[in-house]
Amino acid sequence: MNRFRHTPNLLRAFSLVEVTLALGIISFGMVTMLGLLPLALRLSREAVDTTVEAQIVRALSSELNALDWANFPAAGYGSTRCYDNWGMEVDSKSPQVVYIACVFIPSGGGAVTLPKGGAASGTSNPGMRRAQIFVAHIPDAEFSFAKASGSPSVKSTPVLLVRQDQ
């Protein structure tokens, strides 16, 4: 008689088919998650690159804005500056070089000419200067930005510098 009292406990167990089905569903989910891992890592790296590049552009544009505009740099490419993976400037011979950057001043010293049709059309605005800042994720201080126009590894950011006191 005691033997029949324990049979209800046996009915609470999972069958082999249920366990196999649950393992199949879990395995499918895990394989899907592992398949998304490389994409997530690539997107994370791109986000870090974009953040550091923006930090470098902000630092260089602040330096340009702080210059005495009477002695604004001549047209052309400036010297190449080197940065580490945190966006901090380092020596060009340092093994920590990850990013390089360069400032390009357009012809006319970056002066902004007002568009035609206005009261002051065709005149240069003394309170504005243009520049182009190039940043590349290339750890080579000898890299030439002048020869690399259109390269996908080089990000170009136009900068408009404005001063109220001019």
Is 150 strand, coil or helix? coil
Note down pLDDT in tens along the chain; length 166 residues.
555 555 555 567 889 999 999 999 999 999 999 999 999 999 999 999 999 999 999 999 988 888 887 777 777 888 889 999 899 999 988 889 899 999 988 877 677 777 766 665 666 777 788 888 999 988 888 888 877 766 778 888 898 888 776 5
φ/ψ of 130, rounded to 5, equals: -105, 150
Q: Is 33 exposed, middle or buried (0-12, 13-18, 19+ CB in 10 A)?
A: exposed
- At residue 30, the pLDDT reads 94
Half-sphere exposure of 72 (CA within 13 A, CB side): 23
Break the chain into its structural domains and give their ranges: 2-162
Residue 105 pLDDT: 86
CA distance 110 to 73: 9
- Report pTM: 0.73
Closest CA to 136 of 78, 97, 93, 110: 97
How high is the pLDDT of residue 73? 74
pLDDT at 149: 67
Residue 13 pLDDT: 84
C-alpha–C-alpha distance, residues 60 and 80, integer Å: 12
pLDDT of residue 48: 92
As given in the structure block, the two tokens for residue 117 are 């049709």
Q: Which residue type sits at 123?
A: T
